[in-house]
Amino acid sequence: MNTSLIINEYGLVDIEGAFIRGFEKPLTLWLLCDGPKTGYEIMIELTRLTGKTLNPSSIYPFLHWLDEQELAFSEWVIKGGRKMRYYYLTNRGKELYSNIQAFFQGSLKTMFEHFI
């Protein structure tokens, strides 16, 4: 029996997938705190961390949103004859990540301790 699926009144729901999708954005910020990355590098690393293959349509809109909100900026870099877009967190983006990190270490951590 696949425990990652449950049946509700609408059909099958992928519980593990939904849980991981909820963490894609904080994990993306965490990865960018480590240094600039391309969207592809972020996708590969998220797949490695979660064990789930992620769709580019879930990563790139968030990266563009970070750019629009001035939480990150991007620049095109030519490497090995290929043009690649690298994303960097701004100070505001790093502050957002710190706030999310504090949330996970605070009340959410307490909730998970009781849940698990």
Closest to 36 (Cα-Cα) out of 80, 79, 100, 81: 79
Q: Please tell me the predicted confidence (pLDDT) of residue 108.
A: 63
pLDDT value of position 15: 64
Question: Which of 11-15, 36-40, 48-52, 105-109 has the weakest average pLDDT?
Answer: 11-15
Q: Give me the domains of the chain, ranges plus CATH numbers.
A: 22-115 (1.10.10.10)
Q: What is the C-alpha to C-alpha distance for residues 43 and 9, in angstroms, rounded to an integer?
A: 32
What's the mean pLDDT in 21-25? 76
Pair 101, 33: CB distance under 8 Å: no
Element (H, E) at 13: strand 11-14
pLDDT in tens, 28-40: 999 999 999 999 9
Q: Residues 46, 78: contact at Cβ < 8 Å? A: no
pLDDT at 52 over 70: yes
CA distance 28 to 32: 6
pLDDT score, position 53: 81
Beta carbons of 45 and 59 less than 8 angstroms apart: no
